[in-house]
Amino acid sequence: MRNRAAVGVRDNDRVSVDPLPVALDVDTGIDDACALLLAALHPALDLRAVTCVGGNAPLADVVRNTLTVVETAASVTDVYAAVAAGADRPLLETPVDARHVHGDDGMGDLGLPGPVGEPAAYHAVELLRKTTVTCAAEGRPLTLVPLAPMTNVALFARTHPEAFARLGRVVFMGGGAQVSNATAAAEFNVFHDPEAAAIVLDACATLGVPVTMYGLDVFYAPTVTRTAGRALVASGTAVGRLAGGLIEFACRRFGAEEATIGDAGAVASLVVPDAVRTERLPVRIELSGTWTRGRTIVDTRGDGVDLTHDPHGLAPALIDVCLGIDGAAVAALWLSTIAGEWS
């Protein structure tokens, strides 16, 4: 197994920098599982913590799935990330799930054995606080990657603002400038808990934490073929069987020959930032519209617009919004990482 403390981003076969400390907030989920594998296995990333929230599946299923993925990754690399359970429902909304997409168990119904380990005895918010403070004290601020409804992250921002302010960056999967899925206006993660998303964006703006929105405008572009999924399964490794099984399930579920790796693209953007095109734009969360609740209102009017007659003005949250992506490059990074061909 690798010593994670000794690896980093490689330049001419030499370690050039320490790996980036990251924490993932997940509702695992097929694509959350793909993202977790990438975060745990790629040497440019140091996965320090994983927090779980109800979303794609109920919280108990999310915790089980997350522990399963982390333990699978640990079969080939050193993974020291703690896993903690958090909120089992949104701040205000009635819980919904997406098992029609992710399977009855929330992770492809692959018939995997249950995990050996247990989640941390403390709440996800406490794990986020501890990890953020520890990384800041090390001089390596934590990058927090929410891939789920942001209930846990909102609770963290509200209960421990002094720790939240020490985050290096937030990169969240959610929203969309032009694309939606849960409703005609809103993406699932934000729609599931729009108040939480609004709280997080407000906290980032108030406390000076940089934030990137990896939304549906780029989410679907990185795809892996059914053939590649079968090859991963045939590799015989635990990681390959899990990753390939997820791809095969998604292809069967949607009757397609390729499947998006979704959330994994947000993690990949930390490793290959040039693969994503972003624009810094004001963003708000719609909380009251009958047909538009949960929409991310991305203001694309530009700096020269006359706001004299706009009663709202510009949103205080300026966000790096992902508007373009090299999907093939991201998919290739994911496949090579799963296969252990790190670069």
pLDDT in tens, 24-48: 999 998 999 999 999 999 999 999 9
Residues 6+ apart with CB under 8 A from 226: 247, 248, 251, 256, 257, 258, 259
Under DSSP, is residue 76 helix (H, G, I), strand (E, B) or coil? Answer: coil
Identify the sign of the CA torsion 56, 57, 60, 61: negative
Q: The whole model's pTM is what?
A: 0.92
What confidence score (pLDDT) does residue 97 get?
Answer: 82
| Mean pLDDT for the stretch of residues 50-65 | 95
**CATH code for the domain defined by 4-338:** 3.90.245.10
pLDDT in tens, 81-105: 899 999 999 999 988 887 888 887 8
CB 73 within 8 A of CB 42: no
Position 96 scores a pLDDT of: 84
pLDDT, position 17? 65
pLDDT score, position 16:
44
Residue 41 tokens read as 């296995």
**For residue 287, what are the CA distances in angstroms to 83, 284, 297?**
31, 9, 11
Q: What share of the chain is helix, strand, coil (3-state, %, to 5)?
A: 40, 20, 45
- State the pLDDT at residue 310: 84
For the residues 14-32, what does the mean pLDDT come to? 84
> Of the given ranges (7-16, 34-43, 63-72), which has the lowest mean pLDDT?
7-16
Q: Does the pLDDT of residue 296 top 80, yes or no?
A: yes
Residue 342 has what pLDDT?
Answer: 52
Residue written as token pair 């205000």: 92
131-169 tens-digit pLDDT: 999 999 999 999 999 999 999 999 999 999 999 999 999
Written as one letter, the residue type at 295 is R
Listed by start position, the domains of the chain span 4-338
Q: What is the average pLDDT across 240-260?
A: 95
Q: Residue 309: its pLDDT value, please? A: 79
Angle (CA) 198 203 206, round 5°? 125
Residue of 78, 86, 95 lying closest to 51 (CA atoms): 86
User: How many Cβ atoms sit within 10 Å of the Cβ of residue 304?
Assistant: 5
Count of CB atoms within 10 A of residue 45's CB? 26
Give 167 or 343, the one with higher predicted confidence: 167
Q: What kind and span of H or E run contains 48?
A: strand 45-52
One-letter amino acid of 63:
V
Position 76 confidence tier, pLDDT thresholds 50, 70, 90: confident
pLDDT in tens, 203-212: 999 999 999 9
Rounded Cα distance between 222 and 329, Å, is 8
- The tokens for 200 are 């997080």
Q: Give me the pLDDT at residue 57, please.
A: 92
Q: CA 308, CA 21: separation in Å to the nearest integer?
A: 43
Q: Read off φ and ψ for residue 47, nearest 5 degrees.
A: -75, 110
